Amino acid sequence: TEVSELTSDGAISTGDTPIRNQDGTTTVIRGITIPALQVRRAETTVEMSSGSSIVMAGLIQERTRHAVEGVPGVMNTPVIGS
């Protein structure tokens, strides 16, 4: 975090860019293994008076997976897919 500006009324203006790097899977292209990397960023600008405090939380990610068994196109057909 860096202080980028001090306003005329004594407030501090700061910009912050939290970055979360997350190791992904590896990809093989023409025999070369390349590690994948996911980068997520968020930017914010905060202005607060001298002596004030601020708390910032991290980046949150939620994943949901659902496994389905059956033959695509047939599994939802009455009688055949039952």
Q: Measuring CA to CA, which residue among 72, 18, 13, 69 is closest to residue 43?
A: 18
pTM: 0.30
Predicted confidence band at 27 (pLDDT cuts at 50, 70, 90)? low
Q: Which pLDDT score, from 0 to 100, does residue 5 have?
A: 58
**CA dihedral of 50, 55, 58, 63, whole degrees rounded to 10:** -140
Number of helical H runs and strand E runs in the chain: 0, 5
- Of these ranges, 10-19, 36-45, 47-56, the one predicted with the greatest mean pLDDT is 47-56
